[in-house]
Amino acid sequence: MESNQVQQSLKPVYQLLKFTFVIVPIVAGLDKFTNILTNWEQYLNPGIEGMLPFSGATFMMVVGVIEIVAGVIVLLRPALGGLIVAAWLTLIALTLIAGWMYVDVAVRDLVMAISVFSMAKMSKLIV
């Protein structure tokens, strides 16, 4: 298969991943302010929460802003944004595993990190 054919066959996969990793971080980030989807504070490792100079709710709002910005970066600069989101998801998973809390969510976040990392790499192939 020629390079152009490979690019054309990967383009819909790339577009779907890009769309997903623009929308999901923005929606999750916005939800940190409303807790409509879930109570996000429950995922905060108690050891980390104890070190914070402010409440867990405030921390989650800061996290929300970071996630919204990350989603926008994926939209504008997919290669960079994808790496940021992959690192972010990996850090979240590691904090969950460290506290042995919500390990199922940690595994899901690691799978998403691999997916967005793949999207970031694909973005360099798709013209």
CA 98 to chain centre: 19
3-54 residue pLDDT tens: 888 888 999 999 999 999 999 999 999 999 999 999 999 999 888 888 999 9
Write the CA distances from 3 to 8, 24, 118, 125, integer angstroms.
9, 31, 18, 9
CA 26 to chain centre: 9
Nearest alpha-carbon partner for 95 in 31, 40, 27, 36: 40
Six token digits for residue 117: 């990392």
pLDDT of residue 6: 84
95-120 residue pLDDT tens: 999 999 999 999 999 999 999 999 99
Six token digits for residue 91: 């850090």
Name the domain count of the chain. Answer: 1
Nearest alpha-carbon partner for 124 in 70, 66, 83: 83
The yes-or-no verdict on residue 127 having pLDDT over 70 is: no
Domain that holds residue 80: 3-123
